[in-house]
Structure formats: structure tokens, C-alpha cells
A and B are shown apart, each in its own frame.
Chain A
Amino acid sequence: MATHGDSVDLVDGTVVRQFARAAVLAALLGALGPISIPLPFSLAPVTLQVLFVFLAGLVLGPVWGTASMLLYLAAGAVGAPVFAGWEAGLGPLFGQTGGFLWSYPIAAALIGAIVHRGTDLRDPAAVPLPVVVLALAAATVLIYAMGTAYAAWLLELEAWEAIVGFALPFVPGELLKMAAAIAIVNGGRLEPIQA
């Protein structure tokens, strides 16, 4: 059996803490897959996954929020049942939900970049509310633009057909999740993260 002579290269404490949070948040996103809150005026069930994509950007910032979303995608790709409806495998990343899934890391990075304005984390409650709203709205538009455009290309749909099938049914749910994220940030119910 081969032996290694090199010494152990320990991971820095701040990296370990942020990395552990990113990994656990990725698992939380996966655990949420089946939880849905029915809305009275929409046929589509609302899953809370996008709320946690918002929170990843808001709480972990642009670097570790993005890392967390990438871990979520990678774990799903190699077989963790983390995608909506307990699906797993590389297939969903190429399938009709692929555009939505690939947009999660970019959305988290976008929110983190707008809210924290750099890699030093700030308390989201101290950020002016319009900035938070702008970040969440931009991320939502990004998620649905990527998701709908990819589905339209993949399934050979026209733009309005893809919007009717993949975006419009979810609009009420998205408004709900943005409201929830804003309430969480505004109410100061989140402990600011210290690296």
C-alpha cells in the first residue's frame, strides 16, 4: 500500500465555518423539495426552495452563497434526491428544469453582490430596504428568464408558450417568497453571520 509523506495542510478556521454553513444550507434546500404551501389563487404549488436561494445570497454573501448553490447542484447531480419532487441525477440539470437550477448560483451571487457590495459580509437588516427589494427582484427575474428561456429552447416552444407553462403559474408564489424574505430581513430575525 502506498504511503504519503507530506504533512497535513489544515483548512483555515474561517473557511471551515463558512464552508460548513454553505454545505448545510445546500442540504436544507434539498430537504425543502417536497414542502409546499398551497395558494388559494394559483394552481401551481409553491415550494420554498427559491426563498432559500434568496437567503443564501442574503446571509452567506456572494462567495459562500454561490458555493452553497453549487454544492446543491453537484450533490443532486451525483444522486442526492434534492431536486423538486425528490428527483436526482445529472438528468434534471439538462432537463426542462435545468435553466432554473443553473440560475440558482448566479442568483445567489447577484443578491450577495448587490446587498453586501463585496466579499465582506454586512448585516442584511442594516442595508436600505429598496436595495434588498431590488436585489430580490433582479434575482427573481434572472431565475425565471434563464429557466423559461432554456425550457423554450429545449422543448421547442415559442416564447409565450414557455412563459405560460413555466413562469406565469409561479408568479403569485414568487411574490409570496419575496415578501417572506423581505419580512425576514426587515424584522431583524436573522442573526448576522460572523466569519
Chain B
Amino acid sequence: MLTYAPDDTLAHRLDPRSKLAVQIGFAATALAHTGPRALVALTAVAGAILVAARVSPLEALYAYRYALVFLAIAPVLAALTLGSPWIDLEDGIVSARASYRVLLILFVSAAYVRSTPVRASRAAIQRTIPGKPGQLLGIGVALVFRFLPVLRADLRTIRDAMAARLGDERGAVDRAGTIGVLGLTRAFERADRLALAMQARCFAWNPTLPALAFSRVDYPVLALAAFLALSALL
């Protein structure tokens, strides 16, 4: 599982907003181009971004291994044809190029995940999206990070309890229903306690955020983001 790790790479020093801009620019241009020359250029950019965040390509591949299954199936599906000649290589290659660019998009997002702590992402969200929606989105994202391990443990407890009562020998609908009801009930009990705790701590629309500032290295990166986004139009 790929997560943030403290380090001192170029990517770690960048402002989260410039990193988000680069990702969006890269995705825009990768979605617009599948030509062989574009793919070589995109590979070079994605490789440089991985180096800048010190993520090895193997690590990134492993992090997205489930996506790889679908990306590998797609060209096979495209190549198969009903009726003679059964396999259409041309179609398969077009689809393989398309799925390769998706892999590159995933690589670039791996660099962001490795190099950006939650609080920086949250500050970026709250400073980019104005007003109350931005506030709620930023705080909500932080809460999702916080509650993820807690709820995972809750679900584990529910499944252990079901197994202990031979619940895992029941029908699939019954099992899914039990996990659904118990998972939701427990989660909402936590939510009510959380709401009370937030009110007790003066949960406000205008809290003080960590300072974010663009540094000198951010400007070339922002320029790169703009260039990538514009190259989608080429």
C-alpha cells in the first residue's frame, strides 16, 4: 500500500497545489494523446516525476496491481473478434497504447501520494475551494483519513463475530445485509460522538490553517503543469 512517507526530495518540498496542478495537466494531455511519440514523451515525464518523489516504478506497479489486471485484460478483449480472423492485432495494439497511458497517469499520482502529507492536502483543498464547501471538504477529507483504520477494525470485529456464530455459512444476501446494517449502525454511533466532540471544541467555519506558500521551485513546476495542460490541445 502506497502512502505518504517523510523525505527530503524535490517533490516533498513542493507546494501541494503545484503537485495537484501537474497531475491534472498530465492526465489531460495523456487522455488526449495515444500516438507512439506522445507516449514516449509522457513516459519520460512520468519517469522524471517518479524520480523527483523517489518512488521506484516497481513499487508504483505493485501499489496499482489490481488496476493492472483490468489494464491487461482490455487489449485482449479488444483484439478478440467474433468470427474470422478471431484475433485482430491492430485493435489490440490501439487498446494497449490506450491502457499504457492510464498506467502512466497512475504512476504520476503515486508520486503525489508518496510526497504529500494529509494536512498539506487539506490546506490545499481549503485554500483552493472558497467558502463553506471548501471548509467541509477539507475537514471531511481529514476525518476520512482519521476514521479509516477505526472503521476497518470495526468491520473486522463484525466479521469475526459473524464467523464465531457460523454467520459465514449463511446466504450471501444475509451476510451482505448483516455487514451493511452493523457497519452502518456502528459508524453512525461514532459519527454522533464525533459531532458532539466537534461542537464541544467550537467546530467553526473559519479555523486557522497551516501556512502554505509557493517557493521558488514551485514556479517552474506550475509552468510545467500549464504546459502539460495546454499540450492536450495539440
Contacts and interface: CB of A to CB of B under 8 A. Distances in A.
Interface of A: 4, 6, 8-11, 13, 16-17, 19-28, 30-32, 35, 37, 39, 46, 48, 51-52, 55, 59, 67, 70-72, 74-75, 78-82, 84-92, 94-97, 151, 154-158, 161-162, 164-166, 176-177, 179-181, 183-184, 187, 189-191, 193
B217 interface: no
B176 A72 contact: no
Contacts of A74: 125, 137, 140-141
B18 interface: no
B204 A26 contact: no
A80 B140 CA distance: 12
Contacts of A25: 184, 187-188, 191
A30 B144 contact: yes
B155 to A, nearest CB: 6
B226 interface: no
Interface string B131-159: 00000110111011111101110110001
A151 B203 CA distance: 41
A24 B173 contact: no
B143 A81 contact: no
A181 B173 CA distance: 9
Contact of B105 (A81, A88, A95, A155): A95
A75 B2 contact: no
Nearest to B190: A24
Contacts of A72: 144
| Residue among A71, A84, A89, A91 with max Cβ neighbours from chain B (10 Å) | A91
B222 interface: no
Contacts of B63: 87-88
Q: How large is the interface on B (under 10, 10 to 19, 20 to 34, 35 or more residues)?
A: 35 or more
A191 B192 CA distance: 13
Interface in B187-203: 187-188, 190-192, 194-195, 198-199, 202-203
A165 B74 contact: yes
B67 A23 contact: no
A156 B34 contact: yes
Interface string B112-128: 11001010011011000
Given A10-B203, A28-B151, A156-B78, A85 B140 contact: no
21 contacts: A8-B202, A13-B199, A21-B187, A24-B143, A27-B146, A30-B144, A48-B179, A67-B136, A71-B143, A75-B141, A91-B109, A95-B102, A96-B70, A97-B67, A151-B70, A155-B78, A155-B95, A161-B77, A180-B173, A180-B180, A191-B188
A11 B175 contact: no
Contacts of A180: 173, 176-177, 180
A87 B95 CA distance: 23
Binding site secondary structure of chain A:
helix
A78 B121 contact: yes
B84 interface: no
A97 B202 CA distance: 39
B118 to A, nearest CB: 7
Interface in B38-71: 63-67, 70-71
Contact of B148 (A10, A19, A80, A177): A80
B233 interface: no
B166 to A, nearest CB: 16
Contacts of A89: 2, 106, 109-110, 112-113
Contacts of A51: 176, 180
Given A19-B140, A156-B95, A165-B70, A189 B152 contact: no
B112 A26 contact: no
Nearest to B203: A11
A85 B2 CA distance: 11
A42 B65 CA distance: 21
